Structure 1
Amino acid sequence: MSTQATNRTKHLAVLAAGLGLVYVLARHRRSILGTLIRTCNLRFPLNLNHKRIEVINSVHESQSVIRELKSHCETFKVLGFDCEWITVGGSRRPVALLQLSSHKGLCALFRLCHMKQIPKDLRELLEDDNVIKVGVAPQEDAMKLSHDFGVGVASTLDLRFMAVMAGHKAEGLGKLSKTHLNFVLDKNWRLACSNWEAKQLEPAQLNYAANDALAAVAIFQKLSADLEPRHFWNLRAVKFDVVRNKIEPFLDVDFTKGYAASLALDRASSSSTHVLTAKPKPKIKKRQQCRFLGTQSKAFYDNCLLEAPDGELLCTIDRRKATWYLNQNLGTQINEQPFTVRLNFEPAGRAVGDVGRYYQTPKENQCVVCGRRDAYIRKNVVPREYRKHFPVVMKSHTSHDVLLLCPSCHQKSNISDHKIRTMLGNKCEAPPFKHSEGVCKYTEDKELKRVKSAGKALLLQGERIPSPKVAEMHKTLLDYYADETEISQELLRRAAELDCRVENEDYCQHGEKVVQMYCDKYGGLVELERLWREHFLHTMQPKFLPELWNVNHNASRLEVRASEGRVDNADLLVAGLEPVVKDSTTNAC
């Protein structure tokens, strides 16, 4: 075939392919266009300059708008959420304006001050836990709506959680909008404090209120994309279900409490921090409000081998423990690489089943969530505040629940733990926060405080106090110190140094009470362990867990020990396991 004929054939093939493509595009143009529009809507934030504001003053006006909002939520189950109110004479008035916005640019402004009640279909939308209501500090607005109108707002999400998860700063709505949308929200205090109960709202007020709710949705879209990074040519929308699973632990959680709990736990675990780096950290001249992790150029897992006298592998241990066996003449070094110690005595137990194989398997020095290897912190999957109240047999071997996380994943995990603590606090009537009623170990005795104040005031400022007040203070002191007949310097010093604290009879540590309740009512401590392990798997979705890591690990370990007669029935009952039935010729425990 000639070259000319070959070129003609190629041209015809290209033309045929082009015509075929045009035919497909023409025939399926509606579905393709719809897919592209939906993709762009879900992947790229909406344009805040092209919005539609609907102001609702009555129940009748609300019906069509709420139907439209619900239809928008069928494709993207997220609404921007915000509230406005006024303060008169230092007292807050009921919520005047409720803002709900969709990803399609619709913002509905419900003037609750004119409606006087929440319409039924609006109440259903707010209480629908499948629709996420996003904003900054939305829990505070939800509490105000609950207090003022008796409506619950389900599935609120503080956008600062998403920012932290995506590796960004936790900022206010204005800064989040500027950083992630390059859109400047008008945060003029005169608008924020304007009259939201006015007969008719000004255009500036409408824009202010609508932009806050619309920006919240757009920021959610942008941060969702940051949580699932991909190449710019990949136009597939971020799967909402994937994002929902990641943010599920932070729904209805107060960011200030959750974030503070995370930082407190980070400080508590600072001694467990390992950061592998060759470069020293620069000195910080200005005091920061965040915590810097200490550095330690040492791997956490040494993976030294410990063998029984016959050479059977028992477990992997760290170098320090292996050296201890040698220094105590309890073992003999067999190999240098890997460092291997063989015991000189028969151990209490051998490796049995998957439980035993777990302890035999070498562990990687990396974050079990993301795989990062240069920095990590030990994470107690079952927190110490619970584990320390377990019986010795259940807290003596806890390495299974000590995993390595990088600083970022560690903080995210600690924040998500706040929700489980709160749930356990409610379930076991054991509030997890110190400011909660009945939790403080000590209370302040009012009478002792009055005596101490009188003694301190007279001791330091006695000459400046009016005579009638001095006489009153003298009476307070002599009534308390009934054996004394006059006020002396020694008496004033004793009064000024009084300890006003008294033990709270109702005090019980959160962890202690939760452990006791699980022992008595909720199936034993293996159920509490399982709860925390499943929570960790669900929230963090670790990709690099050690082989044979299992949510039922301790139950299996105790069953092995029970079969070997190395655990008491009392401990099995506390764990929630069936006691071992002894031979009829022996006395039961």
Structure 2
Amino acid sequence: MSKESGVVGSKKWAIVAAGVGLVYVLVRHRQKLLIPLRRIWPTDSLLPHRRIEIINSAQDPATQWVINELKQHCQSFKVLGFDCEWITVGGSRRPVALLQLSSHRGLCALFRLCHMKQIPKDLRELLEDDAVIKVGVAPQEDAVKLSHDYGVGVASTLDLRFLCVMAGHKPEGLGKLSQTHLNYTLDKNWRLACSNWEAKQLEPAQLNYAANDALVAVAIYQKLSRDLEPRNFWDRRSLDAQKLHNKFEPFLDVDFTKGFSLSLTGNGVTRTKNAGASKSKKLLPKKQPCRTMTTQSKTFYDNCLLQAPDGELLCTIDRRKASWYLDQNLGTRISEEPFTVRLNFEPAGRAVGDVGRYYQTPKENQCVVCGDRDAYIRKNVVPREYRKHFPLVMKSHTSHDVLLLCPTCHQLSNISDLRIRTKLAVQCEAPFKNGEGHEKYRIDPELRRVQSAGNALLQHGSKIPAAKVAEMRRTLLDFYADQTEITEELLRQAASVEYRVENTDYCQHGERVVERYRQQFGGLVELERLWREHFLHAMQPRFLPDLWNVNHNADRLEVRASEGRVDEADLQVAGVDVRPKVE
């Protein structure tokens, strides 16, 4: 081979190597390289096919045509942007004036409900169709207003902030989500937001404001869905709608801010007591009382070994428990790595079947949902508000239902639990706090006035104006009808009046649910199974411990029954039938 051909060959190989290197760089850093490209795109390209249709009357022939087109678009992509506008007069909210529904194809229908006598039947059917997801920020609030004002239900609402958290993004308002994920700036001028939505004719700025809110909601949904299903940039397959639906189905019709606020900036998870109920309120208002759930980054599972006297493995335990056996002279150290303790006495039972093997299996220190190992919080799959009312035999050995979750997955799981708690509240007639019959004591207004009057006159009678003193004295004499004058003894008696009256209808949610399952719904193992199946469905954990089972406690009780270590009464409460089967 000549020297010249060798040089040409070397150049070819250099070009090939440079090309491979360029492809590697493009693939490795594609996200960073694409960001500047996105930012130089004109903002109008986000909604290139936008079409606004204004519906003023249910009788207008165009009304039916627009609704049919929305339904047609939903056949291929079952998602609609959803929003509502209204006005406030004299501090009181007027009925919803405008309903916005937008499809992924750019059609936005603005239904001017304030000019309609009733909601068209086909529009009602579309809103009530649970197969069509209605997306937005705080869509549940708008759904409640529509239900209250027009008697129409809105099924399958989904707050975009749930998708943000699931995809690892910060949950923000619609304007910030649009800027962050679409690089599109929404006009959020307060003058537009508070403008007259009941005007005879809406201004162009109002139409743009209303339509863009709904259209952007769909675009954000599409972007976040792609973040939930990451794939290579050359993979042009459409998103798996059913797989996505299964991920967020537990959060449909759940209020994102109802008792919770998600924070991805710290190591803790924050739960608020009174999270805002308005779109305009921030998720974490200043001066709002909150409780922080701290995460744990140190090892949770030590996986120390506990053996029977003959050396048979009983279970894995944490080091503190293992050391306790040694301190109490109940066991002997066998080895340091792995740290192993052998009992000096015969245990009540041995490991039997899959139940026993579950407790023998080492557990990983990671989030059982996503596998994160940086920080985690213990999750009670069967919440404590129910478990604490279980019989003792079902409250022992509950480690099976204590799993590790990272802060984000833990919070998502807690929010998804709201749906099951609501279902149980209805099924078992067990209202939550602030619901009717939940408060243990109620305030008797008359007794409260008597106590207040007696205490005020006794402590500060000389400083109170004469007219107020006369009013308080009348209150006391009206109550103590057999008395003709106010004495110090009477004032002391009035000041000590107990104005809190026990509520005879009081019930505690968790206690009532447990009682109903004991008596009517197949026993407590069914309640456990309900929560475990919900956790599997809602969170789709990929790193569960081996042999984790929705029927774990039922299997465990059957083993104990076969060994004569459980009372029949406890089995009946649990709902476990261990009677021999008749062939």
Same fold at TM > 0.5: yes
Which residue is equivalent to 1:18? none
Aligned partners of 1:45 and 1:221 also within 8 Å: no
Structure 1 residues 544-573: Cα deviation after superposition (integer angstroms, max 9, x where no partner)? 111000001111001111111111111111
SS of the aligned residue for 1:244 comes to helix
Which residue is equivalent to 1:396? 396
Aligned partners of 2:262 and 2:270 also within 8 Å: no
Q: How far apart, CA to CA, are the structure 1 residues paired with 2:511 and 2:558?
A: 25
Q: How far apart, CA to CA, are the structure 2 residues paired with 1:523 and 1:84?
A: 47
Which residue is equivalent to 2:54? 55
Q: How far apart, CA to CA, are the structure 2 residues paired with 1:228 and 1:581?
A: 49
How many Å apart are 1:326 and its aligned residue? Answer: 1.6
Q: How far apart, CA to CA, are the structure 2 residues paired with 1:261 and 1:371?
A: 20
Q: How far apart, CA to CA, are the structure 2 residues paired with 1:84 and 1:465?
A: 50
SS of the aligned residue for 2:258 comes to helix
Which residue is equivalent to 2:278? none
Compared CA separation, residues 72 and 46, structure 1 to 2 (3 A): farther
Structure 1 range deviating more: 254-263 or 473-482: 254-263
Structure 1 residues 323-379: Cα deviation after superposition (integer angstroms, max 9, x where no partner)? 111222222112221111111221111111000100111111111111111211111
Q: Does 1:513 align with 2:519?
A: no
Structure 1 residues 298-340: Cα deviation after superposition (integer angstroms, max 9, x where no partner)? 4111111111111111111111111111222222112221111
Identity of paired residues, percent? Answer: 77
SS of the aligned residue for 1:255 comes to coil
Corresponding letter in the other structure for 1:325: Y
Q: What is the aligned-residue RMSD (CA, Å)?
A: 3.0
Which residue is equivalent to 2:233? 232
Which residue is equivalent to 1:94? 95
Q: Does 1:551 align with 2:556?
A: no
Corresponding letter in the other structure for 1:424: L
Q: How far apart, CA to CA, are the structure 1 residues paired with 2:243 and 2:579?
A: 44
Which residue is equivalent to 1:540? 539
Corresponding letter in the other structure for 1:543: R
Aligned partners of 1:45 and 1:222 also within 8 Å: no
Corresponding letter in the other structure for 2:197: W
Structure 1 range deviating more: 101-110 or 481-490: 481-490
Structure 1 range deviating more: 525-534 or 113-122: 113-122
Q: How far apart, CA to CA, are the structure 2 residues paired with 1:230 and 1:203?
A: 40
Aligned partners of 2:268 and 2:407 also within 8 Å: no
SS of the aligned residue for 1:259 comes to coil
Aligned partners of 1:261 and 1:418 also within 8 Å: no
How many Å apart are 1:164 and its aligned residue? Answer: 2.3
Structure 1 residues 179-210: Cα deviation after superposition (integer angstroms, max 9, x where no partner)? 22222222223222222222221111111110
Compared CA separation, residues 449 and 143, structure 1 to 2 (3 A): same
Could you tell me which runs of 5 or more consecutive residues in structure 2 were left unpaired when the two chains were aligned.
3-42, 272-285
Corresponding letter in the other structure for 2:476: L
Compared CA separation, residues 341 and 459, structure 1 to 2 (3 A): same
Structure 1 residues 276-300: Cα deviation after superposition (integer angstroms, max 9, x where no partner)? xxxxxxxxxx999876554666411
Q: Does 1:569 align with 2:562?
A: no
> Aligned ranges for residues 162-311 of structure 1 at < 5 Å?
162-257=163-258, 259=260, 294=294, 298-311=298-311
Structure 1 residues 49-100: Cα deviation after superposition (integer angstroms, max 9, x where no partner)? 6511001122232111111111111121110111122233433332221110
Aligned partners of 1:441 and 1:504 also within 8 Å: yes
Corresponding letter in the other structure for 1:425: A
Q: How far apart, CA to CA, are the structure 2 residues paired with 1:72 and 1:252?
A: 22
Compared CA separation, residues 45 and 252, structure 1 to 2 (3 A): farther
Compared CA separation, residues 334 and 435, structure 1 to 2 (3 A): same
Q: Does 1:323 align with 2:341?
A: no
Structure 1 range deviating more: 394-403 or 324-333: 324-333
Corresponding letter in the other structure for 2:375: A
Question: When the two structures are superposed, what TM-score results if normalisation uses the length of structure 2?
Answer: 0.83
Structure 1 range deviating more: 372-381 or 235-244: 235-244
How many Å apart are 1:149 and its aligned residue? Answer: 2.0
Q: How far apart, CA to CA, are the structure 1 residues paired with 2:427 and 2:299?
A: 39
Corresponding letter in the other structure for 1:572: L
SS of the aligned residue for 1:230 comes to coil
Aligned length: 523
Q: How far apart, CA to CA, are the structure 2 residues paired with 1:316 and 1:573?
A: 30
Which residue is equivalent to 1:368? 368
Compared CA separation, residues 370 and 297, structure 1 to 2 (3 A): closer
Question: When the two structures are superposed, what TM-score results if normalisation uses the length of structure 1?
Answer: 0.82
How many Å apart are 1:507 and its aligned residue? Answer: 1.3
SS of the aligned residue for 2:334 comes to strand
Compared CA separation, residues 348 and 268, structure 1 to 2 (3 A): farther
Structure 1 range deviating more: 478-487 or 160-169: 478-487
Structure 1 residues 505-535: Cα deviation after superposition (integer angstroms, max 9, x where no partner)? 2111111101111111111111110111011
Corresponding letter in the other structure for 1:534: E
Q: How far apart, CA to CA, are the structure 1 residues paired with 2:66 and 2:85?
A: 20
SS of the aligned residue for 1:375 comes to coil
Compared CA separation, residues 181 and 45, structure 1 to 2 (3 A): farther
Structure 1 range deviating more: 319-328 or 286-295: 286-295
Q: How far apart, CA to CA, are the structure 2 residues paired with 1:95 and 1:61?
A: 21
Corresponding letter in the other structure for 2:256: F
Which residue is equivalent to 1:158? 159
Q: How far apart, CA to CA, are the structure 1 residues paired with 2:145 and 2:185?
A: 27
How many Å apart are 1:441 and its aligned residue? Answer: 1.8
Which residue is equivalent to 2:448? 449
Which residue is equivalent to 1:531? 530
Q: How far apart, CA to CA, are the structure 2 residues paired with 1:300 and 1:502?
A: 46
Compared CA separation, residues 247 and 479, structure 1 to 2 (3 A): same
Aligned partners of 1:82 and 1:98 also within 8 Å: yes
Corresponding letter in the other structure for 1:500: Y
Q: How far apart, CA to CA, are the structure 1 residues paired with 2:357 and 2:71?
A: 53
Aligned partners of 2:369 and 2:539 also within 8 Å: yes
Structure 1 residues 243-267: Cα deviation after superposition (integer angstroms, max 9, x where no partner)? 211111110111221526999xx99
Corresponding letter in the other structure for 2:148: H
Structure 1 range deviating more: 166-175 or 413-422: 166-175
Aligned partners of 2:557 and 2:571 also within 8 Å: yes
Structure 1 range deviating more: 174-183 or 154-163: 174-183
> Aligned ranges for residues 107-126 of structure 1 at < 5 Å?
107-126=108-127
Could you tell me which runs of 5 or more consecutive residues in structure 1 were left unpaired when the two chains were aligned.
4-43, 271-285, 583-589
Q: How far apart, CA to CA, are the structure 2 residues paired with 1:332 and 1:483?
A: 77
Q: How far apart, CA to CA, are the structure 2 residues paired with 1:490 and 1:230?
A: 81
Which residue is equivalent to 2:341? 341
Which residue is equivalent to 2:69? 68
Which residue is equivalent to 2:12? none
Corresponding letter in the other structure for 1:530: R
Compared CA separation, residues 455 and 222, structure 1 to 2 (3 A): farther
Corresponding letter in the other structure for 2:404: L
Aligned partners of 1:46 and 1:105 also within 8 Å: no
Structure 1 residues 139-170: Cα deviation after superposition (integer angstroms, max 9, x where no partner)? 12112222222211100111222222222232
Structure 1 residues 105-163: Cα deviation after superposition (integer angstroms, max 9, x where no partner)? 11001112222111121111111101000112211211222222221110011122222
Q: How far apart, CA to CA, are the structure 1 residues paired with 2:129 and 2:296?
A: 48
How many Å apart are 1:457 and its aligned residue? Answer: 4.3
Corresponding letter in the other structure for 1:436: G
Compared CA separation, residues 320 and 95, structure 1 to 2 (3 A): same
> Aligned ranges for residues 481-492 of structure 1 at < 5 Å?
487=486
Corresponding letter in the other structure for 1:126: L
Aligned partners of 1:367 and 1:544 also within 8 Å: yes
Structure 1 range deviating more: 349-358 or 499-508: 499-508
Aligned partners of 2:296 and 2:377 also within 8 Å: no
How many Å apart are 1:499 and its aligned residue? Answer: 4.8
